[in-house]
Structure 1
Amino acid sequence: MRARGGTTAWTRRQALAARRALILLPALCAALALPAGAPAAAAPPVPGPYTFAPGARTVTGAQRPTADAAPLDPGRTYRSSVPRNGRLYYRLHLTAAETAYVPVTAVPPADAAVSATDGIRVSLQDAKGTPCSYASARFGAGLSPRPVTALAQRDTGKALCQGAGTYYVLVERLDAEGSGAAARAGRWDLEIAPATEPGLAQAGPTTAPQTWNSATPEPLTGTARERPGGTGFTTARPLGQGVWRTTLAPGETRFYKVPLDWGRHLHASADLGGAPGHGYVGGALNLSLYNPVRGYVDDTSLGYTGAPKSAALAPLPPVEYANRYAVPAGVTSVRFAGDYYLVVHLSAQLAGTFGRGPFEVTLRVRTGGWAHAGPGYAGRPAPDDVFTISAQDRESVLTGGSGDGSEHRAMRLVAVGGIGAGTVLLLVLGGWTVAARRAHARASAQKPTA
């Protein structure tokens, strides 16, 4: 009787396992049927305002370049803020052999009133006050508050700012005078991400490459894949070659990153879809490109009348160390491998003429060139991985993948013997059957014999 009762219990466990498998089968099939680039998790959360780097240290800028200025360590990220017409100093220590990069991103409030010439200026100077470099970033024709980034740097081998010691970063807020000045009185948040690049172990060419294909490539065609963007440099979504689609509301900014190896090059364009309404908005869409240390490479914008329209970045040379010896900013800034950032902004001015949207934006990203080994550095950059990309990122550029690993995970699931839904069910049932048999055997062994 015990044997018959045990067999009946075993049959019940089989039936229960089968029912569980049938319940889970749709979810398993859905996981296997995910399209390329689609993560297995739920839909991404609704993007918010600018996302600062996690763990960024808050510092306060000083009024003068003295020892009281907050210190900045290359490789770390900092938060600060600047008042209207403010001038703030920060300090950092540099060795004689490293090139330093100090990008500053200004984030005005979403409801700030700005003019085309408003923005920030960033400069780096030595302890004697000698300027090493300066750069500015302004809001432009879109008249729309958005994150803008300017980069100050100290290059080794130049006539000025050489040697080890203390250097000062000066951040200046640029505000136009006039009727809107009172509305611009609020503080703007800042994100500061200093980085350093070591010198080379062996001397290389000191002239920029003379030849490269500067012709504008044909825009990519094909079915666009959904790819919502991030809301800051540290949350930028990875893109490979392909056609990508998202939606933005007026005033929103989204961040993407395209990993580029040494010898590879990038071309990108943005399409703004049509919308009902009549009128004209200048600078309705802005597409900007930044290098791995957030240095400006190129940007483009488009005016909008409600009809679909495109804007494309200028052709860029392949990533090479020697590009730094060129004169044009679009060449000298493409000087190292790593993540190149595409930043898309939709002007808040669109809402008054064409409504709150959302508006469809399509990015067309083309990569090319031949990857090769980079230069041999004499030390380590800060942060360590700023000029390198992973093997997974390299593959995503070549295949058009997202770079987040979702394609690789899905392909591994499907590739193991060409797993289909029926095979999955059999595997699940088999696993539960083995487990149930083992549990039944353990239970029988523990029962006393009659």
Structure 2
Amino acid sequence: MDAMARMRRTALVGAGALGLVAGVLPGAACAQGAAPQPLPPYRTADGARRVTGTPSTADAPRLEAGSVYADELGPGERVYRLVLEQDRSDVYVSAVVRPGPGAVVGYGDGVEVEVMTTAGRTCPGSAGRASFGRDPVPLAAAGVRRGGEDADCATAGTYYAKVTRTAAKGSDRSAWPVELRVQREPGRGAAGPTAAPSAWPSGAPVLPGADAVPRSGGTGFNDARALGAGVWRDELRPGQTRYYRVPVDWGQQLGAGAELAAAALTKPYGSASDGLTVRLYSPYRSLVASEDTPYDGKQAAATLGKTPPVAYENRFSSDRAVRDASVAGWYYLAVTLGGKVAEFTEDARPVPLTLRTDVIGTPAKAPAYREDPAAGGFGVGAGDRAAAEGGLTAPEEARAAADRSVLRVVAGAGFGVGTLLLLVLGGWLLLARRGRAATAAG
């Protein structure tokens, strides 16, 4: 292994270890009987731009691909403007709503995102929706404009993204922070399949049974902890959601399951009907699958079925779960311990969590895109695999990349200084030889 490779691996491992320490120590420090501390807040995206959506299309603020925005959303609709090209690209608009601590939500509450034409027509298949359970956790949904296959929405011009928050009677009606993200997937350069696969290897995954490795999850999409295939150990407090991300390449499937161990009980009996919830989101933050199970403070487990093999043509399926597995990239797991669990356990003492993940299949050839999809946040590269190996969050990965850049500059500068010194020394030797030759001739 050369020097640069060693420095690169050191930066990755160091960043991952730092993140592990930061994430694990607070839970480990909770002593029996200690008062519970507030749960860590959702980490918003760096550089998110403030924007205020409008109730109608009139004066709707413009959102641009590649950017993240911050707004507030009460029950009802907010509209944003998009200016899109006729370039066969697909554009995804996601919204992550974040209820306040203790907010009352129900199964009828949720968020929906859709992309519309200026005539008010919803682009075919564009609407994406996600619904709450009993807990006020961050919730994401995404809408899409298909520029390659939808004739109604393929033309260049103005479109609108409408974000709708529903709230049942008795639910919290205050305005919540919402994070908006716009991602652009370039169009294909050559014709490909335009029909979804008729069959694929589905069912429950056979998950790894190796010893668990500590990996502390993040507070949301922006600081989700990277995982590969393996068994991972974390901990959760009642009402808390931990986020993880797994790189899934073209042709691959993702299988995942979560297990809760015994908690410190304060009552002999108790149960939370949705004590453990596991949600899976796509690289553009659309809800792919969700599974929940009761928890009585002793033990519980929830397993997601295998995703379809990631394929471009999955987007033509009528099944939402298949349609959302249509692009390679980071897939996000959100694991929640129900807030009701605090009624029969010690809230201050985290519950041990075991997460099992498996990435099934070998990477297949990517579609023939006209441009590099990585700019939109799609695809799996060597850096993504390294981040998963090191267990890095996106901020830690960015710092590691910056450190590697500095090391390259330092190494380059060292090489340059050394070369300059050799040239100077060579010049001195040449002058000395010429001086001796002149003396001998005289």
TM-score class, shorter: 0.7 to 0.9
From 111, 127, 134, the equivalent of 1:134 is: 127
Name the CA distance, whole Å, in 1 between partners of 2:315 and 2:99.
Answer: 32
1:100/1:196 contact within 8 Å kept: yes
- Cα drift, residue 379 of structure 1: 3.1
Q: Which residue of 1 aligns with 2:5?
A: none
Aligned twin of 1:168: 160
Task: Go from structure 1 to structure 2 and tell me whether the alpha carbon gap of 1:36 and 1:270 turns closer, same or farther (over 3 Å shift).
Answer: farther
The Cα offsets for residues 179-219 of structure 1, whole Å up to 9 and x where unpaired, read as x34xx232110000011112110001112234432242323
1:355 aligns with 2:362: no
The separation in 1 between residues aligned to 2:157 and 2:18, in whole angstroms, is 50
Shift of 1:35: 9.8
Do 1:241 and 1:401's aligned partners in 2 also have CA atoms closer than 8 Å? Answer: no
SS of 1:44's equivalent in the other structure is helix
SS of structure 2 residue aligned to 1:193? strand
Provide, for residues 129-177 of structure 1, a one-character-per-residue CA deviation record: whole Å limited to 9, x for no partner: 001232222212xx11010011111113125333111111111221111
Is residue 68 of structure 2 the alignment partner of residue 77 of structure 1? Answer: yes
1:442 aligns with: none
Q: Matches of 2:82 and 2:119 in 1, distance apart?
A: 14
Taking the aligned partners of 2:253 and 2:116, their CA distance within structure 1 comes to: 32
Structure 1 residue 327 displacement after superposition = 2.3
CA distance in 2, matches of 1:396, 1:58: 30
Aligned with 1:321 (options 312, 318, 335): 312
- 291-300 vs 112-121, which moves further: 112-121
Q: CA deviation at 1:293?
A: 0.9
1:238 alignment partner, one of 216, 226, 234: 226
Q: TM-score, normalised by structure 1?
A: 0.76
Ranges of 4+ aligned residues in structure 1 off by more than 4 Å: 34-38, 403-406
Which residue among 82, 87, 91 is the counterpart of 2:81?
A: 91
CA distance in 1, matches of 2:199, 2:189: 26
Q: 1:252 aligns with which of 240, 251, 266?
A: 240
Q: Distance in 1 between matches of 2:332 and 2:217?
A: 11
1:436 is aligned to none
Task: State the partner residue of 1:367.
Answer: 359
Q: State the distance in 2 between where 1:152 and 1:42 align.
A: 34
**TM-aligned CA distance change 1:119 to 1:211, over 3 Å:** closer
Give the aligned residue type for 1:108.
P
- In structure 1, what is the Cα distance between the partners aligned to 2:359 and 2:199? 18
* Contact 1:94–1:167 (8 Å) recurs in 2: yes
State the aligned residue count: 365
TM-score (norm. length: structure 2):
0.77
Map residues 377-392 of structure 1 onto 2, 5 A cutoff.
377-381=369-373, 384=375, 386-392=377-383
Q: CA RMSD, aligned part only? A: 2.6
Matched ranges for 1:288-367 at <5 A: 288-356=279-347, 357-367=349-359
* Whole-angstrom CA distance in 1 between matches of 2:338 and 2:90: 35
- Asked whether the 8 Å contact 1:240–1:401 carries over to 2, the reply is no
Q: Displacement of 1:36 after TM fit?
A: 11
Unaligned runs of 5+ in 2: 1-9, 27-38, 401-442
CA 1:346 to 1:395, structure 2 compared with 1: closer, same or farther past 3 Å? same
**Equivalent residue runs for 1:194-205 within 5 Å:** 194-205=182-193
Largest Rg, 1 or 2 = 1
Deviation at 1:323, TM superposition (A): 1.5
- Provide, for residues 277-301 of structure 1, a one-character-per-residue CA deviation record: whole Å limited to 9, x for no partner: 4122111111111111111211111
**How far apart are the structure 2 equivalents of 1:245 and 1:320?**
31
Shift of 1:380: 4.6
Aligned in 2, Cα 1:217/1:115: closer, same or farther, shift over 3 Å?
closer
1:37 and 1:371, CA in 2 relative to 1: closer, same or farther beyond 3 A? Answer: farther
For the residues of structure 1 that align with 2:100 and 2:387, how far apart are their CA atoms? 35
The residue type equivalent to 1:352 in the other structure is E
Q: How many angstroms does 1:324 deviate by?
A: 1.4
**Would you say 1:214 and 2:192 are equivalent positions?**
no
Partner of 1:39: 17
- Per-residue deviation, 1:389: 2.5
